[in-house]
Structure 1
Amino acid sequence: MKIKVCGLREPENIRAISELGVDFIGFIFYPRSSRFVSSVSVGTGLMPDESTIREDSMGRETLIHQQHTPARVGVFVDASAQDIIARAVTFQLDYIQLHGNETPTFIANLKRTLKPETRQRSSSVLYKNVKIIKTVSIENVSDLDACRQYDHVADLLLFDTKCDTKGGSGRQFDWNLLSQYQGETPFLLSGGIGPEDVEAVRNFHHPRCLGVDVNSKFEISPALKDVEKVKAFVNAIRRESVGYRQ
């Protein structure tokens, strides 16, 4: 069961969460979000020269010495390809998560553009091609129809609760609806998952479910995660794989 912790921003908090053995850490590049990762522009409108997340606090030179290094995910909502590419390079992202109305054509073009852009050396690490996560908002079974157009286009889907805002509602949708999902693209389960949902997560089964995404239910304040709550959740979710005994 893979675990993604999204909405991080504070350097020490990033380091602490990364050390818990989570698989993905998410950074939100949507200006309307209270978890927005801002940056200072060099004046070109494309490439920030300094960010609120610094390389010495979340950089791979630090994380590479850990036994497990989480993948970096950048979350975007209907952003331009230029904006996405700039941040993918600057923040050395492994995944781009698209949380808006991005079309399959946009995603396919973005993947082709990112391929050569991300094959470069930085901090003595050679980066792989950036992969794409497409968020699909779910309220009823008809919303699953939207998944078909992203099959074999996105590398991973993320099922979230449909709401007026772009995520962060703290509400869950009916996970039973996902029994109707018959696509081939693996997915992450998201939407209001909290510390109290350990057993529900462990009892959820779907052949394409790769793991879960958590955010607001583990926060002290926007973008600041409660490390102990995340740690307890990670340990509880994975207790079978580490030989847990009550």
Structure 2
Amino acid sequence: MEGLNFKLEIFEGPLDLMLSLIQKHKLNIQDIEISILLDQFMLYLDRMSEADLEIASEFLEMAARLIMIKSAALLPKEEAEQMKKELQGALIEYALCKTMAERLRKRFLGDVVFVREPMEIEIDKAYHKIHQPEELMLAYSALNERTRRKASYRPRSIKPIVAKSYVTVFTGIVAVLKSLRRNGTVKMDELYRDQPRSRTVATFLAILELSKEGRIYISPDGSSVRLRTKADDESHEGNTAETAGTEQ
């Protein structure tokens, strides 16, 4: 068998060196001749030493591993085969990792190198169709009409929607009591004067509620109203007693 020759290169690690030797000389990674591989590996370390290159510890560790595998020939066959398979497994795993790394590198390089800027597409804007003069006149008239409509268009003003005020019965009660305390007897029409419909309804319902509770006194003819006093209560009780005696 011819000797293995190689140039002194820088490798990433001992597995990289061994894989390079195997691929360069077309050796079978599944059936490595440890003695040849060890000789070439040690030769590389010697050349590194002659070139005053610092030998990394992992290279020395791999050299010791190869020597141990070669020496294992003196050991039982099972142990020697196991050590050899471990080395083969490490080389196969490293070869797969290196292949995938190279694929990723090429893919990344392709994205950077081969991507080009977007092309500007030139569009021919010239109108090449032929029409009759009557068709052109109709199109021109339609365009003028559309332009006129746009120029004369005025958006319609939208009147704001004003919500009607809503007056509650409670608000009406407060207003009636306040007016009676301030003015004493108040004419009924004054309570309704110059009021919107919602407030008029609230005032009417307030008077009914106050009368029901006995807090105001309404004149017999319904023309005026005032706050109810103690005298009104006494008069009401006297009238009630008199009515009861007459009935008996």
**Pair in the same fold by TM > 0.5:** no
Q: Which has the higher contact order (CA 8 A, sep 6+)?
A: 1
Higher strand share: 1
**TM-score between both structures, scaled by the size of structure 2:** 0.16
Structure whose alpha-carbon radius of gyration is higher: 2
**TM-score between both structures, scaled by the size of structure 1:** 0.16
